[in-house]
Amino acid sequence: MPPSPVNPLNPPAVLPGSASVRLQGLSKSFAGTIKALDRVSLDIGAGEFFALLGPSGCGKTTTLRLVAGFETPDEGRIVVGGRDVTEMPVHRRDMGVIFQSYALFPHRTVAENVGFGLRMRKIPRQEIDRRVSAALAQVALTGLEGRRPAQLSGGQQQRVALARAIVIEPPVLLCDEPLGALDRRLRQQMQFELKQLQKQLGVTLLFVTHDQEEALALSDRIAVMNAGRIEQVGAPAEIYERPRTRFVADFVGEINIVDGTWSGGRLLAADGRAMPAPPAAGRDGPGAIAIRPERTMMTAPPAGLLSGRIVTTNYLGGQTLYRIAVDSGASILVKDGRGEGNSVRAIGERVGVLWRAEDAVVLEA
Amino acid sequence: MRAKVDLGVIAYFGLNGAIVFFLLAPIAIVSVFAVNPTPYISFPPVGFTLAWFAKFFANPDFINALWLSLKVAAAVLVLSMLIGATAALALVRGNLPGARLATALFMSPLMLPAILTGLALFQIYLLAGIGRPIWGLVMGHTVVAVPYVIRTTLAVLHNFDRRLEEAAAALGADPARVFLEVTLPLIRPGVIAGGIFAFIVSFDQFPVSLFLVVPKGETLPVVLFNYMKFDLDGAIAAASMVSIALALTVVILLEWRIGLRAYLKL
């Protein structure tokens, strides 16, 4: 593995140039048919690593393209660093953009690619050379100045794209699935480097991804999007531990959703038994709770809230993920780690499932 | 199993060899005629002479026509690249209503027999009282040559990654700079490939020229045609060899100076 190009000892700092991004009620439709974005509002702080997470077609890329200025919103405003840029053309916005396909200029060398933005800013030749060298050093590509993009590996191209975007010292860096084209190993390394670089530069980074692991690992905050709307905004732990809607719960990680009926602050399953859940006074009617597989436990069948038969066992190394077909017809995932006493259980074994009330999350309808 | 593979290989090379032979044999025969000393065209050759080349270069009619053809073809090359590239850009990028119809219209000279195009242009020039100036000839050739440039440029544009232009814009390039720095260099190979076709289409053009040239202002193919009506000697073959050599030189020069470079280095 090549040495990490980013010096992790540099203290994080918010550069004076780094800017906040405020989206106010952005809506966008394409060709008059689909509403790609529906009144999206977000407040992204200066120097924040912010992820837009969601399935394809949820509007995350459209949001990014609106901020970059590649598209204009039908409604709403975009304010960057306190300045309304909604009407500003792309080339005046000073955004650093990294595309999934990298979009390196194939007819130019690495140095010409990286220096492009500086040349457009009419910066003197010598300073361009100096800053290009510094940027290439920052992403560990020194010595490849004269190569063409086609002569580089995917990881190197990714770094050139990164250098090209940061060399103009943008107040905001926009990344559209920048690691999507890399293999898993390289991807993890680049994730680490991107995060380090972002902290080191102190730049505001808006990151689009459909990979929930990536979003959880990298971001300061995440906005989970679905069908052109924002479902939930929060820190990774908050999104994971306390998903607010069924969509967020389902999309981020594996989770068990138990449907029932709220009555007197308790969730009653179809057979009338109360499911352990935080008291939810004031709720009535159909509802659901969600419990992560690692928060559920297996017991002897009579002691469980639900009982069923183990259908599959996935050994994950250190932990085992069981899928249990419960008698009501649903299936429940249980992640069991602690080896003491409970050895790996067999497929077909009858078990009971239970969880603690405080580990269940009440989902909004 | 093994025999089957060999048979496939034989068929493959046989078929391709036959195609290459079919394409090149006429040129080979003409080159033989050009150096055969008999005063009429015959095969097999009985000797070697450069006399027919001497006759060709000594004839001012041939040389004037050759110059005219080269000048017209050069003008057609430039014009059709300009018109073809801008038309292709407008068709793909312009968001024009009826872009498909316009494309079909631009391409129509390819479907139409060139002799009809020539006749139609001749009648239009006559009706408009233009006469038959050289620029009229150039325009006639351009009409038939432009589709080639449009076709090759469209091919490049359809595979064009628009994100490259967005990346340039995000880096601070205004729309004019984006075009000059990114779009133009990247479509250039397509435009030049079309331009090479355009040059050859014009240099070889007979049916359109037939209607649009004036006496003493004829292009080489027309002069050769008129000459053949009365004489069929080796000078014709020599003229063919010269025009093939010239066309080839221009193609190689263009490809070497600009075409290949566009791929390798800006």
Question: Which of A120, A147, A175 is the best mutation test for B, with the most CBs of B within 10 A?
Answer: A120
pLDDT at B26 over 60: yes
| Bridge partners (DSSP) listed for residue A234 | A222
Q: Is the dihedral of CA A213, A216, A219, A225 positive or negative?
A: positive
* B29 vs A336: CA distance, rounded Å: 85
For residue A315, give both structure tokens. Answer: 């050994």
B150-186 confidence digits (pLDDT tens) = 999 998 998 889 999 999 999 999 999 999 999 999 9
How many residue pairs from chains A and B have C-beta atoms closer than 8 A?
68
- Highest-scoring range by mean pLDDT, A186-190, B157-161, B258-262: B157-161
> Using CB atoms, which residue from B170, B182, B262 is nearest to A90?
B170
* A359 vs A294: CA distance, rounded Å: 10
Parallel, antiparallel, or unpaired: how do β-strands A266-268 and A256-263 relate? antiparallel
Check: CB of residue A293 under 8 Å from CB of residue A321. yes
Q: Is A95 on the interface with B (CB under 8 A)?
A: yes
Element (H, E) at A126: helix A125-138
Check: CB of residue A166 under 8 Å from CB of residue A96. yes
Q: Is A284 buried (19+), middle (13-18) or exposed (0-12) by CB count in 10 A?
A: exposed
For residue A336, give both structure tokens. Answer: 């069991």
Tell me the ipTM for this assembly: 0.82
> Using CB atoms, which residue from A69, A89, A97 is nearest to B167?
A97
Q: Is B180 on the interface with A (CB under 8 A)?
A: no
pLDDT at A205 over 50: yes
What's the rounded mean pLDDT across residues A62-73?
93
What's the rounded mean pLDDT across residues B192-198?
89
Whole-model pTM over 0.80: no
* B78 vs B57: CA distance, rounded Å: 28
* A26 vs A75: CA distance, rounded Å: 5
What's the rounded mean pLDDT across residues A241-264?
89
Hey, what domains does chain B have and what are their CATH numbers?
Answer: 1-49 (no CATH), 50-263 (1.10.3720.10)
CA atoms within 13 A on the CB side of A2: 13
Which of A98, A86, A18, A31 minimizes the C-alpha distance to A61? A98
CA atoms within 13 A on the CB side of A52: 33
> Are B164 and A105 an interchain contact pair (Cβ–Cβ within 8 Å)?
yes
> Using CB atoms, which residue from B161, B170, B173 is nearest to A95?
B170
Give the closest-approach CA distance of A55 to chain B in angstroms. Answer: 21
* A362 vs A354: CA distance, rounded Å: 16
Check: CB of residue A285 under 8 Å from CB of residue A262. yes
Whole-number pLDDT of residue B264: 41
Q: Is A105 on the interface with B (CB under 8 A)?
A: yes
Question: What percentage of chain A carries pLDDT values higher than 90?
Answer: 46
Cα distances (Å, whole numbers) of residue B74 to A329, B30, B141, B178, B198: 79, 26, 11, 29, 9
Q: Is B163 on the interface with A (CB under 8 A)?
A: yes
Question: Which of A70, A90, A148 is the best mutation test for B, with the most CBs of B within 10 A?
Answer: A90
Residue with tokens 């440039």: B149
Check: CB of residue A113 under 8 Å from CB of residue A148. no
- What confidence tier does A16 reach under pLDDT thresholds 50, 70, 90? low
Q: Is B181 on the interface with A (CB under 8 A)?
A: yes
* A265 vs A233: CA distance, rounded Å: 26
Q: Between these two residues, A206 and B49, which has the higher pLDDT value?
A: A206
The SS3 call for residue A24 is strand
Which of A238, A203, A185 minimizes the C-alpha distance to A81? A203
For B172, the closest chain A residue by CA position comes to A91
Whole-number pLDDT of residue A14: 43
Residue with tokens 């249980």: A334
